[in-house]
Amino acid sequence: MQTQLNYISASLSDVEKIYQEFLSSDEIFLKWLSANNTTFIIDKNIEQVLTIHKTKYEPLTNTVLAKTIDHTLLRQDATPIEIKSLCSEAIQYQFASVCINPCHVELCSRELAGSGVKVCTVIGFPLGANTTYIKRKESENAIESGAQEVDMVINIGSLKSKNYDYVFNDISEVVSAAKSKNVLSKVIIETALLSDDEKIKACFISMKAGADFVKTSTGFSKGGATVQDVALMKYIVGDLLGVKASGGVKTREDAISMLMNGASRIGASSGIRIINNP
């Protein structure tokens, strides 16, 4: 394990101050991102950073843990029978939501009616390379069909090429569609494809665009959630946004580790295993 995180030296209050300085002007904010490398050296060792939230999340009852899990089935070959089974499981265990592809939203909305389990769907998934117009329309259609949460994938190529105004607008359009209907929005930044600096900037842009959560991964790329990335994302967004750890979270130990280090939501296809593996 590395002995020091190459992330950011400012305290959380300083990070919030930096962010607040740019709230009044999109143009100034985006220019600042373009002009600055946000990766600095943190003044805490990794053991300190990775245990910041430990007391908050230990111990966890099954009921509390279940409420942090988006019970997920995003396979391309998922059938309606499997989706109905997913909904039944979610009701039984009272997971936070089911997370499914948009074509299954209407079915899940019917199956989960009155259960307290929300319908979450994905937008621009899994590549994030749809046009902004299509992402907005996909969001609106999903919401009309019953989606209560939308998890969108950023345009990763635009972020890496420092086209921050495009990334900002891309997120803003989906967030706007969601907020107009009181729907929760999460931004998938696909951490496995990003440098630390890019992760930080993606979090800043997501905050600026008004998202409710930042999310680590689609689960369809070369890597999933890590405790280091979750800790970094939480360090940047603080209490302004939630952090969703998704991709490779398969055991109770995995889930607890993510929650201890700043996640408030877990995306997993192994929700039942997580709950039943004390």
Residues designated as active site: 151, 215, 244
Tokens of 94: 């009272």
Tokens of 52: 């910041």
Give 115-173 as a DSSP string: SSPEEEEEESTTT--S-HHHHHHHHHHHHHTT-SEEEEEP-HHHHHTT-HHHHHHHHHH
Instruction: Let me know: does 124 contact 157? Beta carbons within 8 Å.
Output: no
